[in-house]
Structure 1
Amino acid sequence: MELDPILLSRLQFAFVVSFHAIFPVFTIGLASFLALLYGLFVKTGNPAWERLAEFWTKVFAIVFAMGVVSGIVMSFQFGTNWSNFSHITSNFLGPILSYEVVTAFFLEAAFLGVLLFGREKVSPKAHLFAASMVALGTFVSAFWILSANSWMQTPAGVELRDGMFHVTSWTEAIFNPSLPYRFVHVAIASFLTGAFVVAGVSAWYLLREHDVDANRKALSMSLWLILVAAPAQAVVGDFHGLNTLEHQPVKVAAMEANWERGTNVPLLLFAWPDQDTGTNRFEIGLPGMASFILTHDTQGVVPGINEAAPEAQPPVWLTFFSFRIMVALGILMIAFAIAGLWLRRGQRIYTNRAFLQGLRWMSVTPFIAVLAGWFVTETGRSPWLVYGVLSQAEAVTPSLTTPMVLFTLFGYIAVYAVVFYAGVYYLTRVIRVGMIEGDVQDIERAMRPLSASHIPFDEDSFDVSGQEMPHGKS
């Protein structure tokens, strides 16, 4: 594989956006959870809701900051690595990204300070309003970003004149064909991410019998949300797949590793795609199920990868395996949701140690599923940046050289490693402190900085993913 500037620029942007994506998807779900907690506190006056809200606000602040820092770099890359893309799409993407800043980021920034520092300075109802506005801002931000990305997947409302896109209908461009499905899909993924992280942390606290009353409440709330959201995500994913089949048939073919158009196409549980020969070396599948899932008819027609020219085919193996990782984790989430419902009998969700330990491990799975879904979306679109219209080769900055992109790629990796380490370090400290109500010595012991000799975590250490592991990973 030749390390040309196009490939390296794609890897660089993939690294940055993958690092960034895990933070917004968490903060969107967590912001709504915070608004609910503050609302319950205002309504009931129960101090348990207040302790939960204060604790998760600290977590939100750290994750939000990491998301902002990691996201700023992406806009720079539009100019440094993808200047042709920026120029050609500027009439649409310029205003859309500006709307995101003016409507969403300003809303979040204006009320975030009140949320983080205003608890003793404003009334509980005003504080609740600030939390609600921050939660609203996260969804508004997601809407504009997904509108831009969905337009790149299913361009509409524009025409290409004189080498530039010109908007003919803002309504059609903003509300392009894939936006409704992708927005709902990401929104539910955000709720699942927040719910599983809250469930995992609450489960760990319950195993340690720490603030049992508050963490029982948090665990119960998150499991009810998972019970609704996990099956709903499967339904929305089905509609999203049908939409993708209509507008991006080659992507669907790559997701299924189906090389030739046909009927009664099997659902491949496992295969080893060989793009050089245009075949699968090994297959384990369920006859007719791919046709049934995609067309709701076992004799339905499923497109083939070979319908596209070799240079217009996406990397099949990455799209194929990423899709299966996402689906497998979704099924696992549904299984935990059903197990949680069963264990509510006799309140065993709070005492079953195997289930609680499982929730700790499950807290990392939504992040993996989100990244896998993102890989499906972006690699399945290759080699296009604007699907079917603007290729990656046409969009890259012409003057880029391989050494230039390699240098910046290594620089991003080094800087992001520092950001990641620092963020996880402080997240770990916040979670170790938890909602401590003990004496000053307990608090000081929990907040004691981790020295280099104490990097391996013992059972008293817990990171945001819910795993015991070497320091520096989330």
Structure 2
Amino acid sequence: MDALLLSRIQFGFVISFHILFPAFTIGLASWLAFLEWRWLRTRDTAWRDLFFFWTKIFAVSFGMGVVSGIVMSFQFGTNWATLSEQAGNILGPLLSYEVLTAFFLEATFLGVMLFGWNRVSEKLHFLATCMVALGTLISTFWIISANSWMQTPAGYEIVNGVFEPASWWQIVFNPSFPYRLAHMVLAAFITTCFVIGGVSAAYLLRGKHVDHAKRMLKAAVIFAAITVPTQIFVGDQHGLNALEHQPIKVAAMEAHWEHHPGGVPLVLFAVPNEKKERNDYEIAIPKLGSLILTHSMDGEIQPLKSVPADERPPVKPVFYAFRVMVGLGVAMLLVVLASLWAWRRGRLYESRWVLQGWRLLTPAGFVAILAGWYVVEIGRQPYVIYGLLRTADAVSPTLAAASVMASLIVYAIVYAIVFGAGTWYLLKLLRKGPQPHEPPPRRDQGDKTPARPLSAAGEAIEENA
């Protein structure tokens, strides 16, 4: 293993951890805003209990997301110095805007949201919760803009081998950005939605926290009924955009090697054979691929063989990851349809098949997000900036393989400890479930201790462990 391969493995390892927690908190922040709005509207204490329960989950997830994000940013200087040198004038400002406009906003109002209950007015506290939710979306805006520019670069000029900005409007709103932003935000919302629905289904199956679980499951079904079909439409539009700007990525997603003048088949299953440039054990439906990919029965896509082998991405991981993502999306849609049918019959909370479906798909959003990112990132290879800068040319020139291997081992050990402990704590919080929230001290009694939604969490958990 050379420094290039190890650096790619290390970056893939770190970003695979990092993307999960921000994606979860994007949806969770908006869920918290909804819960607090319901509490303010109805004064029903069950909504308040749910707000404090999910606030604990959000705080832990947010902390782990920050930690993994900091580690990831170091690698641009240590492992990918050439990329930073040549594209830093564009990527640097985009990432800085994310910190200035989003992270500061989140961090500032997060303190008010976590510790300001009954210490600030109800309207101000609700505003803080909404600002945290808005901050997560703004953060997504800039991160996706930077990544999309690397996929479909625009608004630049190259001066002495360095990318210089020519139009920031074209850089930020590059050709793939709107589709990728909508796709990612919906994926984050759906991920959170299925965690909420899965947790509530588990409570109902166990007969615990029944009232809270019914509220959560009902909200999850309604939201999923809106977002899952919308995501299918957005994904289709995103695919059309990728076909226009990154046709070889689409060919790898579908494992299409040859021209099909009469219509491209839809490959349901195959074992791509990159050495012989063909598919083994292929199961395909004639012409259906053209209909899905081009919206025409006889439409064509550029095949893998139309470019040299060193211009193609690795086909197998892209092909299989895409099918994992699509398969989970179909499973989610089926569960949503079954839930709506059970709801119509008045059996949403009693149907064990529906509840088991939600419970089994609790982690489906996380898996689908990882699979989607593998499609996106591996599919643009061999380029780090598509069509302009190869990944092999972006790595730090003096980087030693031994140092990358050592840091990768350290990352693996530290991540196993930190994220293992964090995930264990989250699971214990989820098993504990929402509890009645004790009223905080009144301000007119002279107690100035902030109301802390995270306080006493450890004691409550250990007592029930």
For the criterion TM > 0.5, the same-fold answer is yes
* Alpha-carbon contact 1:108-1:133 (below 8 Å) kept: yes
Instruction: Specify the alignment match of 2:447 in structure 1.
Output: none
Instruction: Specify the alignment match of 1:92 in structure 2.
Output: 90
- CA shift, 1:404, in A, is 1.4
Instruction: Specify the alignment match of 1:107 in structure 2.
Output: 105
Instruction: Specify the alignment match of 1:145 in structure 2.
Output: 143
Instruction: Specify the alignment match of 2:411 in structure 1.
Output: 412
Q: Where do 1:67-86 residues align within 5 Å?
A: 67-86=65-84
Instruction: Specify the alignment match of 1:306 in structure 2.
Output: 305
In 2, Cα distance between equivalents of 1:196 and 1:190: 10
Q: Where do 1:71-470 residues align within 5 Å?
A: 71-263=69-261, 264-437=263-436, 446-448=461-463
Change (3 A) 1:366 1:275: same
Change (3 A) 1:175 1:233: same
In 2, Cα distance between equivalents of 1:38 and 1:145: 28
In 1, Cα distance between equivalents of 2:161 and 2:428: 52
1:317-371, Cα deviation, whole Å (9 max, x unpaired): 0000000010000000000010010010343111122321221111111100000
In 1, Cα distance between equivalents of 2:411 and 2:243: 35
Instruction: Specify the alignment match of 1:40 in structure 2.
Output: 38
* Alpha-carbon contact 1:322-1:376 (below 8 Å) kept: yes
2:49 to 32, 48, 51: 51
1:27-57, Cα deviation, whole Å (9 max, x unpaired): 1011101001101111111111111111011
Structure 2: where are the runs of 5+ without partners? 439-456
1:107 aligned counterpart, secondary structure: helix
- CA shift, 1:281, in A, is 1.6
In 1, Cα distance between equivalents of 2:274 and 2:206: 51
The residue type paired with residue 150 of structure 1 is: S
1:287-315, Cα deviation, whole Å (9 max, x unpaired): 01111111111211111111121111100
2:163 aligned counterpart, secondary structure: strand
In 1, Cα distance between equivalents of 2:158 and 2:231: 36
In 2, Cα distance between equivalents of 1:149 and 1:291: 28
In 2, Cα distance between equivalents of 1:367 and 1:251: 22
2:257 aligned counterpart, secondary structure: coil
In 2, Cα distance between equivalents of 1:278 and 1:208: 52
TM-score, length-scaled by structure 1: 0.92
1:348 aligned counterpart, secondary structure: coil
Instruction: Specify the alignment match of 1:25 in structure 2.
Output: 23
In 2, Cα distance between equivalents of 1:363 and 1:117: 29
1:341 aligned counterpart, secondary structure: helix
TM-score, length-scaled by structure 2: 0.93
- CA shift, 1:262, in A, is 2.9
* Alpha-carbon contact 2:52-2:437 (below 8 Å) kept: no
1:349 aligned counterpart, secondary structure: coil
- CA shift, 1:197, in A, is 0.3
Change (3 A) 1:81 1:111: same
In 2, Cα distance between equivalents of 1:116 and 1:59: 12
How many residues align? The count is 446
421-430 vs 98-107, greater mean Cα deviation: 421-430
The residue type paired with residue 310 of structure 1 is: A
- Equivalent pairs: percent with the same residue? 51
The residue type paired with residue 406 of structure 1 is: M
- CA shift, 1:438, in A, is 11
In 2, Cα distance between equivalents of 1:443 and 1:346: 41
1:261 aligned counterpart, secondary structure: coil
In 2, Cα distance between equivalents of 1:438 and 1:173: 48
- CA shift, 1:433, in A, is 2.2
Change (3 A) 1:288 1:58: same
* Alpha-carbon contact 1:84-1:397 (below 8 Å) kept: yes
* Alpha-carbon contact 2:48-2:437 (below 8 Å) kept: no
The residue type paired with residue 152 of structure 1 is: M
Structure 1: where are the runs of 5+ without partners? 451-474
In 1, Cα distance between equivalents of 2:25 and 2:311: 36
2:399 aligned counterpart, secondary structure: coil
Instruction: Specify the alignment match of 2:441 in structure 1.
Output: none
- CA shift, 1:120, in A, is 2.4
1:130-150, Cα deviation, whole Å (9 max, x unpaired): 110000000000000000000
Instruction: Specify the alignment match of 1:456 in structure 2.
Output: none
1:142 aligned counterpart, secondary structure: helix
* Alpha-carbon contact 1:157-1:171 (below 8 Å) kept: yes
* Alpha-carbon contact 2:49-2:436 (below 8 Å) kept: no
- CA shift, 1:7, in A, is 1.0
* Alpha-carbon contact 2:321-2:375 (below 8 Å) kept: yes
* Alpha-carbon contact 1:436-1:443 (below 8 Å) kept: no
The residue type paired with residue 239 of structure 1 is: Q
Change (3 A) 1:28 1:438: closer
In 1, Cα distance between equivalents of 2:211 and 2:458: 20
* Alpha-carbon contact 1:433-1:447 (below 8 Å) kept: no
Instruction: Specify the alignment match of 1:60 in structure 2.
Output: 58
1:88-125, Cα deviation, whole Å (9 max, x unpaired): 01111111111000000000000001111111211222
- CA shift, 1:449, in A, is 8.2
176-185 vs 66-75, greater mean Cα deviation: 66-75
* Alpha-carbon contact 2:267-2:285 (below 8 Å) kept: yes
In 1, Cα distance between equivalents of 2:389 and 2:345: 59
The residue type paired with residue 261 of structure 1 is: H
In 2, Cα distance between equivalents of 1:425 and 1:296: 46
Change (3 A) 1:47 1:273: same
